[in-house]
Amino acid sequence: MPEKPDDMLGRVCVVTGASGGIGKEIARGLALKRATVVVTARSEEKGRAAAEEISDDTANPAVSFMQLDVASKASVTAFAEAFAKKHEALHVLVNNAGAWFGERKTNDAGIELTWATNVLGYFLVEQALEPLLVASAPSRIVNVASAAAKGLELTDVEYKRRRFQGLAAYAASKQADRMLTWAMADRLRSKRVTANALHPGVVASSFGQTAGSFMAAASRLYFKVAGISVERGADTAVWLASSRALETDTGGYYVKRKEVRCKFRDEAAIEKLWAICEEMTRG
């Protein structure tokens, strides 16, 4: 078979939260480029079905499923250990798994669930897989962020002293995702591992179905009416993961395949966020 543009044959990719929505389409896009793709999800039933569907649709037998709950440190650790036994390399990590909730919930460690999923999940998975990413360099980290990013309060990331608001917690977590990306880019630049963030657009998907408030229902309706297709939403992530022209580009924020200015670049705040993530995931 002739080589295709940005062909990824022999490249190993992990996509978190890939049982549906843009995560599933990102995995599909990478599979179409002949990559070895590991689909991860909390639900074994949904994740395995997604992996089988993608494999069949793309005629790519190198698509598989591995269970992963990014909001659980134990799950991340178990996943990383199992992944290393199955794969000798990792060339692309797409941090996509995310959620938002209408009410304040916590994970198995008592950490607010939006933060545990959207922020600590990105941090934990990257840290657990970093040795393989470095050993497989040149490699890439692609973090799915959002244009909705705002309102991060580093003195109260879990909404312990403020009234919890689901959309505000989600927006703050997406600001943190961008800031974590800059920290990853700086720390890994010399190791030939790039890290970039993107806004996929307002995507018509089932995202937000875990939120039960009136505002959540209204937001889901808006996503369905005004949202773009999951295929279009996945496009920039697939491009960042595969484009040969971007092999050394790092620390960027992209919308519709174009790098755009990001205001969340305060170095002191970024380092404080990194320290918070380290402290919250220690032990």
Q: Structural domains in the chain?
A: 12-281 (3.40.50.720)
Share of the chain above pLDDT 90, in %: 87
Query: How many helices, marked H, and strands, marked E, lie in the chain?
Result: 9, 8
Which of 282, 277, 12, 278 shows the shortest CA–CA distance to 132? 12
Looking at residue 32, its pLDDT comes to 98
Q: What confidence tens digit (pLDDT) does each residue in 88-130 have?
A: 999 999 999 999 999 999 999 999 999 999 999 999 999 999 9
Report whether 37 contacts 252 (CB < 8 A).
no
Calculate mean pLDDT across residues 139-146: 98
| Model confidence band, residue 223 (pLDDT cutoffs 50, 70, 90) | very low
Report whether 65 contacts 41 (CB < 8 A).
yes
On the CB side of 269, CA atoms within 13 Å amount to 17
Which of 181, 174, 157 shows the shortest CA–CA distance to 270? 181
Is it the case that residue 206 has pLDDT exceeding 90? no
Q: Which of the residues 170, 222, 253, 254 is marked catalytic?
A: 170
Is it the case that residue 190 has pLDDT exceeding 70? yes
| Model confidence band, residue 227 (pLDDT cutoffs 50, 70, 90) | low
Amino acid at position 78, single letter: A
Looking at residue 71, its pLDDT comes to 98
On the CB side of 51, CA atoms within 13 Å amount to 24
Report whether 53 contacts 25 (CB < 8 A).
no
**DSSP symbol at 155:** T
Looking at residue 195, its pLDDT comes to 98
Is 254 one of the catalytic residues? no
Q: What confidence tens digit (pLDDT) does each residue in 37-71 have?
A: 999 999 999 999 999 999 999 999 999 999 999 99
| Model confidence band, residue 213 (pLDDT cutoffs 50, 70, 90) | low
| Model confidence band, residue 283 (pLDDT cutoffs 50, 70, 90) | confident
Looking at residue 62, its pLDDT comes to 98
Q: What confidence tens digit (pLDDT) does each residue in 62-94 have?
A: 999 999 999 999 999 999 999 999 999 999 999
Which of 63, 21, 9 shows the shortest CA–CA distance to 38? 63
Question: What is the value of pTM for the model shown?
Answer: 0.92
CA–chain centroid gap for 80, Å, is 15
| Model confidence band, residue 186 (pLDDT cutoffs 50, 70, 90) | very high
Is it the case that residue 221 has pLDDT exceeding 50? no
Return the C-alpha torsion angle 108, 111, 112, 114, nearest 10.
-80
| Model confidence band, residue 4 (pLDDT cutoffs 50, 70, 90) | low
Looking at residue 182, its pLDDT comes to 98
How does the average pLDDT of the chain come out, rounded? 92
